[in-house]
């Protein structure tokens, strides 16, 4: 007889999923630690030298306590005070403080110099790596990703490299040496200095015993809140239409309430326990315990009052260990996460450069049986054959997602084809050196990127050696010269500060840049798609000047802009399904004709 074992298998499946998730988390943690270790390798020798110096400096910190004890004994001894002993004790204290300052200062200087060298090296590596990355990578990854890696994440390594190593070394060395001295002085005083530590350690262990499962529940709660938010935002149109806003918020309220109740239920008892645990190792508590115990020891005749005073001062350094170790652990966690993100940027795939680069002969662009896949599994372009003759305009049209932008990005080598080849002047683009390729091919995109520098430098980005008059001539041809001259410092105005440009104005600056570059092959992502009405006519005039005499590939978002094109290629699902001039495609009564009819109905 068959039995339904579904309920029995659910816990097993859940356990398997949790086990797999735990294994992934452990693997990610190992990878993150490996990334951090590899990143710190160039400065490890200097860091270890600094730690060695800090051990000497931290050990010297105990010397003044010993000197004070000897000084007290000399001053409290019966009979006349021995001036030599007093001077000797004072000199020992001064030497100890001097050694501490010298060795500790040199150790910090070494780690700070190491930090500066490491940050400079990492930033150079990031720039060098991204300089060889395909331009398509920057389309998929925002500038914020690069900025965070090159600035914030690299800076997050500062405390770990410049401070944490020497501070944690001092935090461990000082108590060890101090306790060693106390054991030499009297073993009972050494144990008394440690009497409150087990209280703190036990409380901390109790607080951390469920940390992993509790964090898992917190993450699940955050995921539930995010899911509720997404569901509400996705269905907001329906909610507003049917007036069910109150019910729509219910899912979010329930998820947020559950999260809040669980978080407060877990954290509230721990906060109380943490307060008592921190009090156990606080300086007042440590001092009180050591003085009280010391008085008992003095009455028992085991130690002298001077020994108790010295032991109490040494015991006061022990609580600082926990604070420093806590900061060090947090710094390492932050640095580990930062190192993982930096490593991801440093592992950015790069475009392979030809060992023996070739020079194109002419400006004809040919696509031969081109296919392309972003993930290596699904082709978004298949079997593309297209010829762009010099002096002609070829337009790419098609439904959204048909592969127009992807195809154009392959011509400019934002990505490399996964099948077939693309040639310029008879040479595969992969066999042309990158610096030479972008002298032969230029592009004007909808998403204009201007640097935070002067307008002049933005225009001559492709030709840094261009004269001021050449820059002005390009700006005049792009019909942006008058607007630039009206800026506070004209062509020297900094974009984003003195030069706040509209989208259409920024587009004309990018067209001026393309005009100045004077590349014979041009890829144009219809620049007027999002332009304001005032800018559109000016941009169209500038484009007309730009495309004259060049081999042009246009990505068309609005059909009326390409009716005069020499050739129109219609894409659908990654393939060219029609090609010809505008009248020919209308006569075929295919996809292009249907798109044109849709456009005309929209206009009416």
Instruction: Pull the structure tokens for residue 565.
Output: 């094109």
Helix axes 305-315, 44-76, angle to 10 degrees: 160
Give me the pLDDT at residue 4, please.
52
Burial of residue 209 (number of CB atoms within 10 Å: 0-12, 13-18, 19+): exposed
Phi-psi region of 358 (alpha: psi -120 to 50; beta: other; left: phi over 0): beta
Each domain of the chain, given as residue ranges in start order, spans: 29-186+318-351, 365-603
pLDDT at 205 over 80: no
Locate all alpha helices (DSSP H) within 209-244, ordered by sequence.
211-234, 236-242
Greater pLDDT, 70 or 111:
111
Architecture in CATH for domain 29-186+318-351: Up-down Bundle (1.20)
Helix axes 503-517, 533-547, angle to 10 degrees: 10
Provide the pLDDT confidence category of residue 242 given band limits of 50, 70 and 90: very low
* Strand partners for 569: 396, 579
- In degrees and rounded to multiples of 5, residue 556 shows phi and psi of -100, 125
pLDDT at 254 over 60: yes
Give me the pLDDT at residue 79, please.
67
Instruction: Pull the structure tokens for residue 600.
Output: 């005309």
Instruction: Pull the structure tokens for residue 133.
Output: 């990355």
Provide the pLDDT confidence category of residue 28 given band limits of 50, 70 and 90: low
Provide the pLDDT confidence category of residue 235 given band limits of 50, 70 and 90: low
CA–CA dist 176, 180 (Å, integer): 6
Greater pLDDT, 520 or 69:
520
CA–CA dist 10, 2 (Å, integer): 18
CA–CA dist 47, 580 (Å, integer): 68
Mean per-residue pLDDT, 359-374: 91
Per residue in 553-578, pLDDT (tens digit) is 988 877 887 888 889 999 998 899 99
pLDDT at 422 over 90: yes
Mean per-residue pLDDT, 469-489: 89
Greater pLDDT, 484 or 255:
484
Contact present, 385 and 110 (Cβ < 8 Å): no
Per residue in 446-477, pLDDT (tens digit) is 777 788 889 999 998 878 888 999 999 888 88
Give me the pLDDT at residue 241, please.
46
CA–CA dist 517, 597 (Å, integer): 38
Any idea which of 164-173, 264-273, 286-295, 345-354 has the lowest mean pLDDT? 264-273
CA–CA dist 40, 549 (Å, integer): 54
pLDDT at 50 over 90: yes
pLDDT at 13 over 70: no
Q: Which of 89-93, 530-534, 581-585 has the highest mean pLDDT?
A: 581-585
Give me the pLDDT at residue 351, please.
81
* Strand partners for 589: none
pLDDT at 19 over 90: no
Topology of the domain covering 365-603: Rossmann fold (3.40.50)
pLDDT at 233 over 70: no
CA–CA dist 319, 194 (Å, integer): 10
Contact present, 444 and 524 (Cβ < 8 Å): yes
Number of H helices, E strands in the chain: 25, 10
Average pLDDT, the chain: 80
| Element spanning 353, H or E | none
CA–CA dist 52, 587 (Å, integer): 84
Burial of residue 264 (number of CB atoms within 10 Å: 0-12, 13-18, 19+): exposed
CA–CA dist 576, 574 (Å, integer): 7
Q: Which of 103-107, 148-152, 206-210 has the highest mean pLDDT?
A: 103-107
């Amino acid at each position: 007889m068959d039995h339904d074992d579904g309920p029995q298998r659910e816990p097993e499946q859940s356990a398997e999923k949790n086990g797999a998730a735990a294994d992934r988390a452990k693997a990610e943690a190992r990878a993150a630690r490996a990334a951090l270790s590899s990143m710190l390798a160039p400065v490890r020798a200097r860091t270890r030298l600094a730690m060695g110096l800090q051990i000497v400096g931290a050990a010297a910190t105990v010397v003044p306590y010993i000197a004070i004890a000897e000084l007290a004994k000399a001053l409290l001894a019966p009979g006349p005070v021995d001036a030599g002993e007093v001077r000797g004790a004072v000199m020992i204290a001064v030497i100890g403080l001097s050694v501490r300052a010298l060795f500790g200062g040199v150790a910090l200087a070494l780690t700070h110099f190491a930090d500066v060298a490491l940050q400079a090296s990492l930033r150079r590596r990031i720039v060098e790596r991204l300089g060889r990355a395909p331009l398509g990578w920057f389309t998929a990854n925002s500038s914020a990703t690069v900025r965070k890696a090159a600035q914030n994440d690299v800076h997050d390594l500062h405390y770990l490299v410049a401070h944490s190593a020497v501070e944690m070394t001092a935090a461990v060395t000082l108590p060890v040496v101090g306790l060693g001295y106390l054991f030499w002085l009297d073993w009972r005083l050494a144990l008394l200095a440690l009497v409150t530590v087990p209280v703190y350690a036990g409380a901390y262990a109790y607080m951390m015993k469920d940390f992993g499962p509790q964090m898992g529940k917190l993450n699940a709660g955050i995921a539930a809140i995010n899911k509720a938010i997404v569901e509400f935002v996705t269905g907001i149109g329906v909610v507003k239409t049917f007036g069910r806003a109150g019910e729509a918020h219910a899912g979010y309220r329930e998820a947020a309430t559950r999260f809040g109740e669980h978080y407060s239920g877990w954290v509230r008892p721990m906060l109380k326990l943490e307060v008592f645990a921190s009090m156990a190792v606080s300086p007042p508590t440590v001092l009180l315990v050591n003085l009280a115990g010391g008085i008992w020891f003095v009455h028992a005749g085991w130690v002298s009052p001077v020994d108790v005073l010295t032991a109490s001062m040494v015991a006061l350094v022990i609580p600082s260990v926990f604070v420093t170790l806590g900061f060090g652990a947090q710094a390492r966690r932050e640095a580990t996460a930062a190192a993982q993100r930096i490593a991801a940027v440093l592992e950015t795939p790069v475009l392979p450069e030809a060992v023996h680069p070739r020079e194109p002969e002419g400006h004809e662009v040919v696509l031969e049986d081109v296919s392309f896949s972003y993930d290596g599994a699904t082709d978004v372009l298949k079997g593309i054959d297209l010829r762009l003759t010099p002096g002609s305009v070829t337009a790419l049209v098609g439904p959204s997602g048909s592969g127009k932008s992807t195809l154009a990005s392959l011509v400019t080598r934002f990505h490399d084809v996964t099948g077939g080849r693309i040639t310029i002047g008879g040479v595969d683009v992969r066999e042309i050196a990158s610096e030479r390729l972008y002298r032969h091919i230029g592009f004007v995109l909808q998403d204009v990127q201007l640097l935070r520098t002067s307008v002049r430098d933005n225009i001559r980005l492709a030709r840094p050696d261009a004269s001021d008059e050449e820059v002005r001539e390009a700006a005049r041809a792009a019909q942006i010269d008058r607007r630039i001259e009206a800026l506070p410092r004209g062509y020297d105005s900094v974009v984003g500060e003195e030069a706040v440009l509209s989208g259409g104005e920024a587009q004309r600056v990018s067209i001026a840049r393309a005009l100045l570059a004077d590349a014979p092959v041009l890829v144009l992502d219809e620049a007027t798609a999002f332009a304001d009405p005032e800018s559109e006519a000016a941009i169209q005039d500038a484009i007309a000047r730009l495309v004259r005499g060049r081999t042009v590939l246009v990505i068309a978002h609005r059909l009326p802009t390409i009716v005069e094109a020499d050739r129109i290629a219609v894409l659908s699902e990654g393939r060219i399904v029609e090609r010809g001039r505008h009248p020919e495609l209308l006569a075929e009564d295919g996809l292009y004709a249907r798109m044109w009819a849709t456009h005309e109905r929209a206009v009416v």
